[in-house]
Amino acid sequence: MLNPENNEGTKIIENEQLYLREFTSDDFDDLCQILEDKETMYAYEAPFTKEKVKDWLTWNMTSYKENGFGLWAIIDQTSHAFVGQCGIVYSDVESESLLEIGYLVNKRYWNRGYASSASQLCLTYAKHELHAKRIHSIIRDNNSASQKVAEKNGMTIIHEFDKDYSGQAIRHFVYSIDLNK
């Protein structure tokens, strides 16, 4: 739960349903609930250990300083619950660094529109604050829910490639949208 008396992260952007704010170290337990969960992490190589969650938090907090963006906490406007994470990161695809919108929602809150709503805010942020010309979402071929969100964001597949998951080639799609249109 977001406690206003705690070390609250900077608010980035909002709509009626939710707002996105920077992570703080107080978010560790909420992030563990998402990143340590096997079902949530099915599209990734494996669920995270606590050590990897710590690295994830540090990676995002460093990105706020270096890039001005990263993955942010999705907070429900009414309940103030930490429902997930969504934001903008750089991702490597075959030696190219692409600007990506990423999202992971706590499974308690799936299918309530949070990822769609939060990623729409990120599209607005990328276009108007970062003046990005194009943004992507990189999604495993069997991740239908994530693909649905990308399609609702107006993205289409522009490329396919394999990511190495411990020696196994796993197909991924690069979804993309031209922000100038």
Ligand X SMILES: CC(C)(COP(=O)(O)OP(=O)(O)OC[C@H]1O[C@@H](n2cnc3c(N)ncnc32)[C@H](O)[C@@H]1OP(=O)(O)O)[C@@H](O)C(=O)NCCC(=O)NCCS
* Residues in touch with ligand X (CB under 6 A): 40, 43, 103-105, 110-116, 139, 143-146, 148-149
> 6 or 124: whose CB is closer to ligand X?
124
| 11 DSSP β-pair partners | 21
The whole-angstrom separation of Cα 56 and Cα 32 is: 10
> 25 or 111: whose CB is closer to ligand X?
111
β-pair type (168-178, 134-140): antiparallel
In whole angstroms, how close is the CB of 5 to ligand X at the nearest point? Answer: 28
> 62 or 111: whose CB is closer to ligand X?
111
In whole angstroms, how close is the CB of 48 to ligand X at the nearest point? Answer: 12
Q: Which structure tokens are listed for 168?
A: 């196994």
In whole angstroms, how close is the CB of 100 to ligand X at the nearest point? Answer: 9
Task: Annotate the chain with DSSP letters as a single string.
Answer: ---TTS-PPPEEEE-SSEEEE---GGGHHHHHHHHT-TTTTTTSSSPPPHHHHHHHHHHHHHHHHHHS--EEEEEETTT--EEEEEEEEEEEETTEEEEEEEEEE-GGGTTSSHHHHHHHHHHHHHHHTS--SEEEEEEETT-HHHHHHHHHTT-EEEEEEEEEETTEEEEEEEEEEETT-
> 57 or 174: whose CB is closer to ligand X?
174
> 22 or 100: whose CB is closer to ligand X?
100
In whole angstroms, how close is the CB of 115 to ligand X at the nearest point? Answer: 3
In whole angstroms, how close is the CB of 50 to ligand X at the nearest point? Answer: 19
